[in-house]
Homo-oligomer: A and B are copies of this chain.
Amino acid sequence: MEDYSENVIPHNHVLKQNDRVQRNKYVPKLLWFTGLSGSGKSSLASSLEVHFFNLGYNTYILDGDNIRGGLNADLNFSDSDRTENIRRIAEVSKLFLDAGVIVLTAFISPFKKDRDFARELVGQANFFEIHVDCPLEVCEKRDVKGLYKKAREGKIKDFTGIDSPFEAPTNPDIRVNTANNSIEVCLQELIKVIKPKVRA
């Protein structure tokens, strides 16, 4: 008989998500940030990731920087490609959840049906839709990346809020307002709601 100690898994076992949850002592969730360009999705996701990382959890952010230049480099910003973009992000998120990693996605994700697809794919219990709410005027005034200016000049097509719609969530799991509140205040709101659901 093999001398496996109590917590050691035998080599012929196929690891499942539950093995990781048991060991890691937290439950991975998909934290889906949605909002206009410049609303603060990435800043919030990044701050929340650090919070969970500091608790010893495994975390990862999917955003334009690591997705649009790689996996989805073959896609543009037409409605159909936006849908395929979100489909792939949702499928990759599902893999990360299976691997025991808390996933934070920071994409405009303007279409309700695409966000609903993601929710359904990973299951309602594993999904938090986080609406980073900030009026277009405020986002456009911030214009951190200069994208709104270019969109207004017609140099960028299909820009959400300008010539492409944003379907705001009607009933998100969490809504934070970054026009009236600091990132730190919004972060604390997120932590208050999400943290209890991530604890194993």
Contacts and interface: CB of A to CB of B under 8 A. Distances in A.
Interface of A: 8-15, 19-20, 23, 46-47, 49-51, 53-54, 56, 58-62, 66, 70-71, 88, 91-92, 94-96, 98-101, 184, 187
Residue of A9, A11, A20, A96 with most chain B CB atoms under a 10 A cut-off: A11
Contacts of A19: 53
Contacts of A95: 60, 62, 66, 70-71, 92
A70 B94 contact: yes
A164 B10 CA distance: 36
Contacts of A56: 23
B53 A15 contact: yes
Contacts of A59: 15, 99
A75 B32 CA distance: 26
Number of copies: 2
Contacts of A187: 11
Contacts of A100: 58
Contact of A50 (B13, B88, B92): B13
A49 B14 CA distance: 9
A10 B50 contact: yes
Given A11-B184, A50-B9, A96 B99 contact: yes
Given A71-B91, A96-B99, A11 B60 contact: no
Contacts of A184: 11
A124 B67 CA distance: 21
Contacts of A10: 50
A117 to B, nearest CB: 12
